[in-house]
Chain A
Amino acid sequence: MIWQFNLIILGFLIMAAIMSLKVTDLLSASMIFGIYSFLMCLLWAAMGAVDVAFTEAAVGAGASTVFLVATVYSTKRKSSD
């Protein structure tokens, strides 16, 4: 894999991680968390760990995002801090 491409993904990954903590809207935070998982999946694939990447894409970006969104709908949309 081209290292510049990896570096860009890593930059986006760190940005997504910080943003999901900083955003007060919990629904957006869940969405950004899904993006984080997807970028993580790209990085796993780039490192040749295809099985892990597949699991990350299915569980992290797919199922857990749906669970988080479902949970946000049952609670308040805005975080207090």
Chain B
Amino acid sequence: MRALGTIAVILTGALLLYASGDFPAWGEPYSPANDSRVSRHYILKSFEETSVPNMVTAVLADYRSYDTLFETVVIFTAGIAIISILRGPVDKRVRLRRASEKSLRQSNLILAQTCRLLVPVIQMFALYVIAHGHHSPGGGFQGGVIFGASLILVALSFQLQTALDRISEKRAMILAGIGVLIYSGIGLTCVLLGSNFLDYSVLSKVLPLSAIEARSYGILGVETGVAFTVTAIMFAIYANLSSHGRMKGGL
């Protein structure tokens, strides 16, 4: 059985290697991916139509906004699934606030000070990544993960409770819901203003912006929603995984 598996793997690998010879050259402008009508439209028109220099962000959050909306919903659902599987009864015997303050004082001095110095910088960088996604690589997903990582760093350096005092599990789940609501709410606003779902250009009717600027700010709005959801879900997943769903102790 093992030999059979090895043969299958080697055969498939050889086939894939053989097929990779037919790939277009790297950066080939006439490859099917670059030369189709749709790609040409994105490459030539995305800056004119959305005033977003980073084409990836324009495609991700404007042209293919449906896709990103449901990616956000997938993350939300994944978080809820993990919590509904792992979440157990909370141990309420320890006074929460006091335990947390104690752990702050008890933890290693170098660890505590490094964490104090790093966390604000990481969070500032996360906000920068979210807001600067129009111009440079980044956006809601990456920024959200980085922001969530700063919360995880607090939980790792001190105790899980220290991070939970800053943002409780309930608050995290509300934040995650708010993120999805912001995204779909912007889409619904577009419908109410008499256009298609997630067609941000119609937002210029209510905001003092031109139609093109409205698309740019619409992208910023939905990226903020994505960032809310991703941040909250990352932290909620970590809190549940590290404490067996008990919300106490942690790694």
Q: CB within 8 Å of B: which residues of A? A: 47-48, 50-51, 53-55, 58-59, 62-63, 66-67, 69-71, 73-74
Contact = CB atoms under 8 A, between A and B. Distances in A.
A73 B142 contact: no
B30 interface: no
A55 B27 CA distance: 21
Interface stretch (B92-100, B109-117, B144-152, B194-202): B144-152
Contacts of B242: 70, 73-74
13 contacts: A53-B137, A54-B129, A54-B137, A54-B138, A55-B141, A55-B142, A58-B145, A66-B149, A66-B156, A67-B237, A67-B238, A73-B251, A74-B242
B56 interface: yes
Contacts of A53: 137
A70 B138 contact: no
A29 B137 CA distance: 30
Interface string B223-242: 00000000000100110011
**Consensus secondary structure, chain B interface:** helix
A74 B241 contact: yes
Q: Residue among A47, A66, A67 with the most chain B CB within 10 A?
A: A66
Given A51-B56, A58-B146, A70-B242, A63 B141 contact: no
**Consensus secondary structure, chain A interface:** helix
Interface in B40-81: 54, 56-57
B6 to A, nearest CB: 13
A-B CB proximity, top 5 nearest: A70-B241, A70-B242, A50-B137, A58-B145, A51-B56
A70 B156 CA distance: 10
Nearest to A59: B145
A51 B132 CA distance: 12
B56 to A, nearest CB: 5
A71 B142 contact: no
Nearest to A73: B251
B244 interface: yes
A58 B201 CA distance: 31
A32 B163 CA distance: 28
